[in-house]
Structure 1
């Protein structure tokens, strides 16, 4: 893959997860929008939801690949995540390598909080439209918003804070 490098099994599973999340988001959002003009039926789910889900899956994979490219490739992204998980950067890694990688990880905290705020607003908006869209679509969409918000609260924000802590500490002296 151009600009990404070799992707291992864990990377392929992340691509699959990005595709599933993108498909869910695209399908549910398209059906929600379409059901504003017509009743939510099985035909609407198949005719609008499935193609939108396919487009969403493609966008999810594309965004994950783009994220890896901007981080310097899959291997660099995994290195930075390993440093965050270990809580330190190994000695011998030059600052011009580890500082930008960890800064990119730390900068994701703002995006995580933005997603949480949007998820709360979208959930309230979706819940208020329940009479218009019906209970099934409302529960699916609120579940999607809660899932996105939970992912940000339980994964994105703590990892960003851990990256910021590693940035403050710097390189370890223990090999």
Structure 2
């Protein structure tokens, strides 16, 4: 929970915002459900398409573990970023290119910096996935043609991670570079 009290807005508003940030909307629930399904299906697909079938208890055990671990890892990521609502609000600020005036710098700047760092990690992950897809493709051509499924998985990961940026890092950098000026008082004349 975020409790920021910089003396200007009071800690109560931030505490209320943080409580709301922990609630998931339908999109968040769908994302968690999709991760659970992906975790359950991935071992089945890898076992079915691989050259060596795995024992059924290994496949079922991996499916159960991944169906639980992937959504929990996503929830942990959201919680470490201030909650699902905080992540959604930060994404909205970056897309809009501005932060509401009532949000203190001590709250929004760290969130936008973390958002930019996450996007950088995704970009690095996209390049690593692309390199692994190429490497695995070379191995599939020279050694085992059945490995094209793994090439496709790495390629999909590379494309997905690169599409998730869509100019977000540049927008977050612009937002961080913008200096929000405090409201100035009108000049008093004697």
TM-score range, shorter chain: 0.7 to 0.9
How do 1:58-97 and structure 2 match up within 5 A? Answer: 58-97=68-107
1:79 Cα offset (Å): 1.0
Match of 2:153 in 1: 144
1:22 Cα offset (Å): 4.3
- Between the two structures, name the one with larger relative contact order (CA 8 Å, sep ≥ 6): 1
Moved more, 161-170 or 44-53: 44-53
Match of 2:125 in 1: 115
| C-alpha distance in structure 2 between counterparts of 1:161 and 1:46, whole Å | 47
When the two structures are superposed, what TM-score results if normalisation uses the length of structure 1?
Answer: 0.74
| C-alpha distance in structure 2 between counterparts of 1:46 and 1:134, whole Å | 24
RMSD (CA atoms): 3.1
1:127 aligns with 2:144: no
Change (3 A) 1:51 1:133: farther
> Structure 1, residues 5-60: CA drift from partner, whole Å, max 9, x if none?
2111011012123334445666667x49xx6xxx423xx27454443233223222
Match of 2:34 in 1: 17
> What are structure 2's unaligned runs of at least 5 residues?
1-18, 183-190
More helix by share: 1
- Give the total of aligned pairs: 161
Larger radius of gyration: 2
SS, match of residue 115 in structure 2? helix
SS, match of residue 101 in structure 2? coil
| C-alpha distance in structure 1 between counterparts of 2:178 and 2:41, whole Å | 39
1:152 Cα offset (Å): 1.6
Is the CA contact 1:24–1:56 (under 8 Å) kept in the aligned structure 2? no
> What are structure 1's unaligned runs of at least 5 residues?
none
When the two structures are superposed, what TM-score results if normalisation uses the length of structure 2?
Answer: 0.69
